[in-house]
Each structure stands twice: as structure tokens, then as C-alpha cells.
Copies of this chain bind each other. A is one copy, B any other.
Amino acid sequence: MEKCTVVFNPVKKSIIVKKGANLLEVARKAGIFIDAPCGGKGNCGKCRVKVVSGEHQMEFTPLLKEEELKNGIRLACLTFIEGDMVVEIPHVDAVEGIFVEDIKPGDEKSERIEKACKMLTEQGFKKDSGAFSAYLKLPSPTLDDNVADLERLKRELRKKYGINNPVCSLNVMKTIPAKLREGDFRVRGLILKDKYSCEVVGLDGFYTDGIYGICADIGTTTVAVNLVDLTTGEIIAFASSANLQIQYGGDVISRIIYSGEEEGLDRLKKSIVDGTINPLINKLILKNNVKRENIILCVFAGNTTMSHLFLGIDPANIRLEPYIPVFKECPELKAKDVGINVNPEAKVILLPNVASYVGGDIVSGILASGIWAQDENILFLDLGTNGEIVLGNRDYLLSCACSAGPAFEGGEISCGMRAAPGAIESIKIDRETFEPSINVLGDIKPKGICGSGLIDLIAEMFLSGIIDSKGKISREVSSDRIRYDEDLDVMEYVLVRDKDSYDGRDITINEIDIDNLLRAKAAVYSGLSVLLNSAGLTLRDVDKIIIAGGVGSNLHIRNAINIGLLPDVDESKYYYMGNSSLIGAYLCLLFQEARDKAKEISDSMTYIELSTFPFYMEEFIKACFIPHTDLNLFPGVVGLLEKNKRR
């Protein structure tokens, strides 16, 4: 039987298959997700790929144009492999899959949002996005009433809505004569108002309705988007996917370095806007039958580097001492300026940053957390690709960033992955047999391990004696799940055997992975120590700890304490709030006053540069053990270990 190698770009995954195999099936086998709603019957035309090189055959389809065929575009489901091939996958939705979810009242996501809205309302904020539909019946022009179209429209807006001299872009002006006459001078105006001005961002038929907004968290690893009905405030659906920039580096530093290469900045900008955000929006609007032109308001939150790359602004100085971003607060923009594929005149709000390593996502999270309205001292930890920590209450806000890297989102871990379908999100290991039991996200076989799963895994391996406090795997534990990897010269633990996994390969963790995770958790814990210290506080003064970020909604706080990632305080003090950045972006979408509050937070928050603290490095090294070199800090963990020994 003849074998062929197929390489899938841009992820550079390769797979060896037999000649004649179907390309869609091969892609799936390689763990590459290609959307094929028709089930691979060649009917829907969604599984477009680009063949860069290699012999193959494709059945005829009327769905591809001659131009496309010339450019190597094929339907994967109709293509059969005849030799070694290189295939390019067009968008992130095809690379790793877009995860879409309808949001219903009572859902966890919906409840968190509701809670945040309630908090704002209690603080006296008025729910008003500034976006609305103006239903206008204009008198038809006559020789006596020969006012121009635009002035006629403005006259009615003033009369019916009290709006004086609204802004109207050239693009909208161009549509006026046809739109007015199509509907016999009845028209729906899509209006955006704020305290400074008012703009007509579009015209639609008088008998149409629906105005929508987008709010999104632009994470270094994961991008999450909500489609929101601006009339009701209801979240219609949620979608998330990998940030396609991942192909250029896992963390912000490597992206900044890449942005300095030729065309680097342009590629990074395109990856996030055209490659990630626009496909997510497309998916949401297609699935929910929403007209693109009716999306007129967008709020984005991201860290400072993501904010720069989102706008195509050079982030180089973020990385160089004295770490200066180009902007803290970005002026309001339009979708057409940024290239967001909604109504081109839609307002785009990017939440303001604090400093080079504390960005709009943290401002958004703090807004959503309500810390700024509390008397108690509250710690806020965002465990995403970076780790950011905020300490404060209504009187002060201190923040710092720890270079935790992408470990808690599964990055830089051999079998790590984002919290997406196929991710192992929680793990238990039997203390006797060392056999694991796992929970997988979604109804599929496991593909890898996400943040919460990794934390569970380290904790369970530690508590069951598979690893010691330095993270080394014991050679004395008797289990065929523990083995030696000759190539890497490290021990590893097999969590899922090949026959049980999604792609037929073992899911394992080795000592290098564990080391990465320990350094990540040490970065967070030591950052937290320094931050408390610089505020003159101790853990005892902290009344509440909020955990946010991409670590996964099924984070077991106890295990995070057990590995020494989180401080060993009463678990009731902990509160997990999920993607707080996305919640804050939602609040800014729906509450104009929340946008002002975000600015206030960004202005009032003090940023502490950890690297300038002489004892930071010392704290970091002490925290690189499980749970810590100073066991007095972790009495609960000591108790657990003693209980284990007694058994």
C-alpha cells in the first residue's frame, strides 16, 4: 500500500496516510477541524482548502469557480490524495474550530452577566447603549416643501427624537436618496448617540427591526465574542476560537518580536482581525440570521499588546525599557477603520489600558468585578496567557503583571490545549492504582488538557506521590502509566492511552511540562506576594479573591491551592467569575456610563513593575516548589499530605 504525507498549513501539522484517502477525512484524523455542515457530501461548499502542492484528484463540483480552481482551491470532501501534499487551511475556524453556544437565561454565562448588570444598576448606572432604531415617516417632497433629502431626514429626527444636527458619514449619505424613495419616504434610521454627539450610521426599511452589538475579549490565546441584541440587552450567542496569531508565537513577547520582522505587524493585524474576529462574527451572524449592517456598536477588550496589534500599531516599545505603549486610551474608531466586518460606520470602542503589561482586559475585568465599589480589600487574579493581579477596593487599585506565560491556557505544554471541546478539564488519580479518571469538554474523545485539567493533574500527581515537591516523577511508583522518554531524557505520565484519544495518540505530561507549569504558578504566587507587600498588607487582610481568565470554568480552587498557585486561605473567600474581560466589555456595550467608569479605572489604577522589586526574584524561586518552600504558608496542604501519609 502506497503512503503519502500531507502537511496542513499554517499549523504545520503533518500526517501519513494511504494513497487515495479522502482529504476531509485525513484532515479530521490530523486533528484539523474543517467545517462541513453537509457531512462531506459535496453539497455545502464549506470545506474549501487550498492545495499548495501535490498530486490529487477532485470530483467535479459546480460550487467552485474556474478562478478558484486555478488558484488551487478545492473542496476537501471531494478531494482524494494521490501523492505527498501541502494543503493550506484558510481560517482559524477551519484550523481549530469555532465554538459557538447559544446563551439562554439561567446559563452560567448568562447568570454572571446578570449579576454584573445588577451590580452596576445598584451603583446607579443607567442601562443605555446609545444605539436605537428611529422610525421616521417623512413628508414626501413637493415644489413647496423642496427641502433636500438629508435635511428632510434631520428635520424629522429633530421633530420626533429631539436630535439636533446628527452626524452622517459620506457612505450613509450615498444611500439616502434610494433608501428614502424605496420606502416611500418611510425609513428606519440606525442611530448611535452619546453625550457628545449623535450619528445616523445606517438606513433600513421602515418595517424592519433589529440592532445588534458585538462585545469581545481579545485574548493572547483565545478570542471570545458575544452577539448582543441592543434592543433587549440579551446575549444571543457566544463564540470563541483560538487567536490565529498563535502561529507567530504563544505569548505577547514573541508576538512583539515577530511584529518587528518584515510584514510582521501587518500579518499579526490580519491574523487577529481578518483571521479570527471576522470569522467569529461571520459565524454568529450567519447562525443567528442577523444582518451585518444592523451591528452598529462593538466593544473590544484585550491586553495592551493585543490592543496595539488589533489596530496595527507597532508594539515594539512595550518590550523595551522603560516599556512605553503607544497609547493608553484609544480614541473611538469606526469598524471600517479597523476592518471589522460589521456595519462599516459602527462605533468601535477599545477599552483603555493601564500600562504596557496591564491592559484593557484587566480594566474590563475590574469594571465587571465591582471591586471599585467595595470597602473590603479584594484580590483579583486573571489567569490567562499572562497573569495579571489587581488588589484594591473603592479607595485604591494596585496592579502588576507576572510573566506566567501561556501554560494555564495549555500553551507550551506538550498535550496542553485551550478550554475547547475535547479538552480534559478535570482529573482525579486513584491513590492506589494511579489510574486517572477524567472529564472532557464536549461530547468527543479527549484531545488534550486545558488549564484546570493541568492544575488538577499536577495536584493529583503530587498528592498521590507520583511527583515530588520539585515536580520530578518518582521512579518508584509502580504503574505502566509512568515511563521514560529516551529522546527527551525525561519521565512522563500517560493520562490517556492512544486508543482512547481523539487523534489516536497518547495524551501525556512529562517533567518539562511540569517544570513549565511550576514556573508559571511561581510567577503568579510571587507576584501576588510582592503586590500585597508593596501595599503593606498580608493575606489576612484580604477579604475576597476573585479568579478570572482562560484557566477554565471548572478550576478546582483546592487543587490550585495544593500546587501553590493560589494562597492557602479559606476556600469560601474564593470566587470564580469566568471571562471577566468579556463581561466588562458587555457592560460597556450596554451601559454608556460603564465606558466612563472603565476610563476612570484605567486612570486611577497604579501599576507596580515587579522587576524593579529586589526581593521579587527571591520570592519567585521560593514559589517554584510544590506548594512552596515555606510550608507555613500552606497549612491546608501540609494537613492533606499528613492525611495521605496516615492512610
When all copies of this chain in the complex are counted, the total is: 2
**A323-362 vs B, Cβ < 8 Å mask (1 yes, 0 no):** 1111111110100011000000000000001011000000
Chain B: CB-nearest residue to A337: B170
Select which of B316, B327, B338, B355 is within 8 A of A146 by beta carbon.
B355
Provided the pairs A149-B324, A151-B328, A327-B148 are in contact, do residues A312 and B141 lie with their beta carbons within 8 angstroms? no
A149 proximity list for chain B (CB < 8 A) = 317, 324-327
A143 proximity list for chain B (CB < 8 A) = 321-323, 609, 612
The complex places the Cα of A379 from the Cα of B333 at a distance, in Å, of 47
Chain A contacts with B in 128-178, Cβ cutoff 8 A: 141-143, 146-151, 167-170, 173-174, 176-178
Chain B: CB-nearest residue to A265: B174
**A439-470 vs B, Cβ < 8 Å mask (1 yes, 0 no):** 00000000000000000000000000000000
Are B326 and A167 in contact (CB-based, < 8 A)? no
Select which of B168, B177, B314, B353 is within 8 A of A317 by beta carbon.
B177
Are A146 and B331 in contact (CB-based, < 8 A)? no
Interface flag for A313 (CB, 8 Å):
yes
Provided the pairs A149-B325, A314-B177, A321-B143 are in contact, do residues A331 and B168 lie with their beta carbons within 8 angstroms? yes
Name the distance in Å between A142's Cβ and chain B's nearest Cβ.
5
Could you say which interface size class chain A belongs to? Answer: 35 or more
Most buried by B among A141, A311, A326, A327: A326
The complex places the Cα of A142 from the Cα of B329 at a distance, in Å, of 19
A170 proximity list for chain B (CB < 8 A) = 311-313, 333, 337-338
Chain B: CB-nearest residue to A332: B167
Are A313 and B174 in contact (CB-based, < 8 A)? yes
Are B338 and A151 in contact (CB-based, < 8 A)? no
Are B311 and A148 in contact (CB-based, < 8 A)? no
Select which of B177, B326, B338 is within 8 A of A177 by beta carbon.
B326
The complex places the Cα of A333 from the Cα of B338 at a distance, in Å, of 18
Are A323 and B148 in contact (CB-based, < 8 A)? no
A331 proximity list for chain B (CB < 8 A) = 167-169, 173
Name the distance in Å between A604's Cβ and chain B's nearest Cβ.
15
Most buried by B among A178, A322, A324, A331: A324
User: What are 17 inter-chain pairs, A to B, with CB distance below 8 A?
Assistant: A141-B322, A142-B322, A143-B322, A146-B323, A148-B326, A148-B327, A149-B317, A149-B326, A168-B331, A169-B331, A170-B311, A173-B313, A173-B327, A173-B330, A176-B327, A177-B316, A178-B314
